[in-house]
Amino acid sequence: MSPSLKDVIVRHPKERLSKCSLQPLRDRPDLRFIKARPDLRFDATGYVLLAIDAPVLSNEDAGLPLLLLDSTWRLLPSLQACLTGHPIPRSLPASLRTAYPRISKISTDPARGLASVEALYAARLLQGRDTAGLLEHYHWRDAFLAQFGKF
C-alpha cells in the first residue's frame, strides 16, 4: 500500500464511541474515519470490503486499502447503502472468533462477526501489512491473539 493510501472506517452515527474498539486509533495517520450521514456516498472502488461470504483475504490483496463498516450488525445495511462503485469483497478465515463479550437483547450477531479492531488487525495480518499498535488499547487483546496459532 502506498503511503498516500489509508484504510477507511465508515462509522454508523449510532455507534457508541464509548464502546467502539477503534476509537483509540482515531489519530493514526494510516486510518481515515468517516461518520456516516444520510446523504453520504463513498466510492468503494478499489477498496477491500470485508464480507462474511466472500473469498478469504490473502497477501495477494496487500496493495489494497481496507474499508471497514463500523456498526452493529443490525444497522449494517444502512452503511452498505452509502457505498457506490465496486469494492472487492473479501472475508476473514471462518475459524476466527471474537474475544469481545457480546450481549444483544435486540438481535443475534453472526458467529463469524468480529469487533472492528479485531477485523482490522486480522485483515492487515492476512495482507502481510503492519499491525503494530492496532491492539495496544484493546481490552480483550490477549484472548483474541491466542487463537492465531489455530488458523
pLDDT over 50 (residue 2): no
pLDDT of 54 = 93
Asked whether the whole model's pTM tops 0.75, one would answer yes
- Over the stretch 34-72, which tens digit does the pLDDT of each residue have? 988 888 999 999 999 998 889 999 888 988 999 999 877
12 falls in which pLDDT band (50, 70, 90)?
Answer: confident
CA 10 – CA 6 distance, rounded (Å): 12
Give the cell for residue 97: 472468533
CA 41 – CA 57 distance, rounded (Å): 25
Contacts of 12 (CB under 8 A, 6+ apart): 36, 69, 70, 71, 72, 75, 76, 78, 79
- Over the stretch 94-139, which tens digit does the pLDDT of each residue have? 888 786 665 555 545 555 568 889 999 999 999 999 999 999 999 8
